[in-house]
A = this chain, B = another copy of it.
Amino acid sequence: MSQDRPDVSTLTPLISPRSIAVIGASDDPKRIGGRPLGYMIRGGFSGPIWPVNPKRDTVQGLQAYADVASLPSAPDAAIVAVPAPVVADTLEALADKGCKGAVVFSSGFAEMGADGAKLQDRVRSVARAGGIRVLGPNCLGIFNARCNWLATFSSSVDHLLPKPGPVSIASQSGAYGSHVFHLMRQKGVETGIWITTGNEADVDVADAIAYLAADDDTKVIVAYAEGIRDGDATRAALEAAAKAGKPVIFQKVGRSEIGAAAAASHTAALAGSDRIYDALFAQYGVMRVDTTDQMIDAAYICSRGAYPDGNAIGLMTISGGVGVQMADAAIDYGLDVKEMPADTQKALKELLPFAAVRNPVDITAQAFNDLSLITTNMRMMLDEGGYDVVVAFFTMIAASRYIADDLIKTLQETRERFPDKSIILSLIAPPEIVRHYEEGGYPVFEDPTRAVAAAAVISRFGRFFARKIEAAPPSAPSGAKPVPSRQIGEHEASDLLESWGVPFVDRRLVTSAHEAEEAVKALGGKAVLKIASADILHKTEVGGVVVGVTASNASAAYDGLVTRVAEAAPKAEVDGVLVAAMAPEGVETVIGVQNDPTFGPVVMVGLGGILVEVLEDVSFRLAPFGVEEAKRMIAELKGAKIYGGVRGAPPADVDALAELLSTVSVFAASEGARIESVDLNPVRVLPKGEGCVALDALIVPR
């Protein structure tokens, strides 16, 4: 789908226009066609504004034009607030004039059914044909606070126009985008660029993210989507943001559908499932948030721009209980609540006999009698504790201006000594005191566990940004066989996958009882016999599998098997019988590939048995990916420690499993157009150093 997507640079006139027109401009600053004009006149848009209104000479005091053709020159961008049926014609006129971007407020398109969808298709065609990028229709618009391009009728900007800030927002929903903008502003975080995409006839959230990734003034990207149609473009946009070192905070709603619907053992059921978004976000370091609070908190802490690349957290508190609470939360978030060094604990205990000094460090409220104790303590934590981030809980004791001034000064000394360390405060104070701390360089949260969550957010991004970008996995090996466009049986599927590097047990295709006996002998004297036919996918159901076959009974087993299958599936074309060696003991694992309609081939891994079937304990990645990513994918499994060796079993060869997953991902990415799904079930992961081996393979061609 992204083939016909114009380059991201084509969005510049739409998002940062130097001149603009308003089609359907109203003289009434309360009406939809009048609001943006009113906002821009108040805010002072940095270029000319040309209202188009055939009935008036002036609109809100500006010279008006009768139609698009009459405009003095081509506007970079235009607002379109005209009835749905004339939107496409208006866009055509704008394109003819040379306009490069349009914001379409009008509703009455795809959201209203089939007739509207047709109108929307025409909007898209006009946009592509005319080289004009279109936002909407049925959207709340856009603003760019840096040039006061305020092309929105959202009431959220009404009482106070936006001011440039480090965070930009890309939201499918206008109402929710406004809600988030408003809350961020309440928290003191200003939004530079705000884009709501509505029906996405042309510009979508992926476009918006791609633009913001390249926009120098945007430091943090906040995104909201209900559904994504173009997986490739989304991946490219997220990759661009990751490469630019910009955190992306993404709220993708609609989680709950999956929970009920998807049985993890059937990768087919997972197509388009919400869990694929988890995979996407994991791969590109995106922080997924489920609630508005999480989104605002993450945007707030990221707006400060510090991303420690470790996960050691120091906790300072004046209430022991809150210390425990913060430690609980830190461990939940995967942070390392490591102890202070013994010497430091001793020194601190001398300084503050009442204090608990391990970590959390409880300095008790007594420290407020002598603020220098806080400085000293903080210095010791940062200097000797080796923490990447410190959260300090002061409750309402730090709320007076008198204490705030002193505390900021004392914290400042610490800050100067450790410019790279993040220090987050948790306290309750009136807004003006909170601002005072913030201006002093300290982010503030009321809730101590939310402060810890914020520490986890920046540590997570810091570690992601510090991670060496993994080289793309090697492409198809020489001799790799393509997937044919017909159904194939296990024996063909395993040969094919073997040509891509997937290890299988030794096996022979035989066509007589005698050959079967010879094959069993050659394979070590014990084997499994399986019917080899492209027409038979469920071999056990037709009596097509015999296990534990030895040389002495191989001949009989062969004959029995062939007879049973001939009876049960008389029409099946049989290629013979596959004689497969017994696999060594190992950890049963399932690997699957599913062709997701949005994101293409997705690789799944899970532990065999009830972990997959009952607990849906599987993890996903979009193909292709490297070995390191595969290791993270394995580590996400709740049952991952089974690979470490449980119930007396030796540790399994997780490295080999990671290699195999990466190999499968290369196959999936290369052959994606020809496969519907692949199952390697089971794969046995052998003891460390011995690799892993697939026992069965199923390829469903597209």
Minimum CB distance partner of A453 in chain B: B291
User: Does chain B have a CB within 8 A of A420?
Assistant: no
A320 at the A/B interface (Cβ < 8 Å)? yes
Tell me how far the C-beta of A612 lies from the nearest C-beta in chain B, rounded to whole angstroms.
Answer: 11
Shortest distance between the CB of A323 and any CB in chain B (Å): 9
Distance (Å) between the CB of A277 and the closest chain B CB? 12
User: Across the interface, do A292 and B224 meet the contact criterion of CB distance under 8 Å?
Assistant: no
**Closest partner residue, chain B, to A322 (CB atom):** B176
Cβ-based interface call for A641 (8 A): yes
Query: Known contacts A155-B396, A428-B183, A450-B291; is A253 also within 8 Å of B325 by CB?
Result: yes
A1 at the interface (CB under 8 A from B): no
Least CB distance from A238 to B in Å reads: 20
A53–B282 alpha-carbon span in the complex (Å): 66
A638 within 8 A of B: yes
Q: Which residues of B contact A224 (CB under 8 A)?
A: 321
Question: Among the listed B327, B449, B611, which residue makes an inter-chain contact with A291, where contact means beta carbons less than 8 Å apart?
Answer: B449
**Is there an interface contact between A176 and B321, defined as CB atoms closer than 8 Å?**
yes
Query: How near does chain B come to A4, taking the closest CB pair, in angstroms?
Result: 27
Asked if A681 is at the interface of the complex by the 8 Å CB criterion, the answer is: no
Cross-chain contact A610 with B611 (CB below 8 angstroms): yes
With beta carbons under 8 angstroms apart, the residue of B173, B183, B324 that contacts A446 is: B183
Stretch at the interface among A7-15, A83-91, A254-262: A254-262
Q: Which of A328-336, A455-463, A512-520, A592-600 is the contact stretch?
A: A328-336
A332 closest partner in B (C-beta): B256
Q: A324 and B254 in contact (CB under 8 A), knowing A447-B293, A641-B614? A: yes
Q: Does A46 contact B (CB under 8 A)?
A: no
Q: Ordered nearest first, which 6 A-B pairs have the shortest CB separation?
A: A175-B319, A173-B321, A256-B331, A253-B324, A291-B449, A255-B328
The answer to whether A254 touches B173, judged by C-beta atoms less than 8 angstroms apart, is: no
| Interchain CB contact under 8 A, A322 and B173 | yes
Question: With A179-B428, A397-B155, A428-B182 given, is the CB distance from A321 to B638 under 8 Å?
Answer: no
A332 to B290, CA, bound (A): 11
Q: Flag A162-193 by CB within 8 Å of B: 1 or 0 each.
A: 00000000001111101100110010000000
Residue total for A at the interface (Cβ-Cβ under 8 A): 60
Partner of A615, one of B251, B397, B639: B639
A613 within 8 A of B: yes
**Which partner residue on chain B sits nearest A158 by CB separation?**
B396
Q: Given that A178-B396, A319-B175 are known contacts, is A253 also in contact with B292, CB under 8 Å in the complex?
A: no
A-B contact pairs, 14 of them (CB 8 A): A112-B354, A175-B318, A176-B325, A176-B395, A179-B396, A182-B395, A254-B324, A290-B328, A290-B329, A292-B448, A293-B293, A293-B447, A614-B641, A614-B642
- A183 — which chain B residues lie within 8 A by C-beta? 428, 446
Query: Contacts A175-B318, A224-B321, A428-B182: A290 and B615 contacting too (C-beta < 8 A)?
Result: no
When C-beta atoms are compared, the residue in chain B nearest to A108 turns out to be: B354
Given B174, B332, B449, B639, which contacts A292 in the complex, CB threshold below 8 Å? B449
* Interface presence of A646 (CB below 8 A): yes
Tell me whether A226 and B614 are in contact (CB under 8 A): no
Whether A365 is near chain B, meaning CB under 8 Å from some CB there, is yes
Q: Is A60's CB within 8 Å of the partner chain B?
A: no
Contact status B331-A449, CB under 8 Å: no
Q: Point out the residues of chain B lying under 8 angstroms from A322, CB to CB.
A: 173, 175-176, 179
Instruction: Give every chain B residue within 8 A of A290 (Cβ-Cβ).
Output: 325, 328-329, 449
Q: Mark A282-314, 1 if CB is under 8 A from B, else 0.
A: 000000001111000000000000000000000
Assembly CA distance A183 to B395 (angstroms): 10
Interface centre among A325, A327, A331, A642 (most CB of B within 10 A): A325
Given A365-B175, A639-B614, residue A156 in contact with residue B256 (CB < 8 A):
no
A571 on the B face (CB < 8 A):
no
A148-164 near B? 1/0 per residue, CB < 8 Å: 00000001100000000
Question: B428 near A328 (CB under 8 angstroms)?
Answer: no
**Residues on B with beta carbons closer than 8 Å to the beta carbon of A186:** 428
Partner pick for A395 among B175, B254, B259, B365, CB 8 A cutoff: B175
With a cutoff of 8 Å between Cβ atoms, the chain B residues found around residue A328 in the complex are 253-256, 290
- Which of B319, B332, B354 meets A179, CB within 8 Å? B319
A468 CB–B CB distance under 8 Å: no
A647 contacts the other chain (Cβ, under 8 Å)? yes
CA distance A447 to B111 in the complex (A): 26
**8 A Cβ contacts from A409-454 to B:** 428, 446-450
Q: Choose one: B226, B251, B642; the contact of A610 (CB below 8 Å).
A: B642
Chain B residues whose C-beta falls within 8 Å of the C-beta of A638 in the assembled complex: 615
Shortest C-beta distance, A528 to chain B (Å), equals 20
* Docked CA distance A354–B226 (Å): 18
Q: How far is the CB of A189 from chain B (nearest CB, A)?
A: 15
Bound-state Cα–Cα, A647 to B613, Å = 8
Q: Give the distance to chain B from A644, nearest Cβ to Cβ, in Å.
A: 10
Q: Is the CB of B447 within 8 A of A226?
A: no
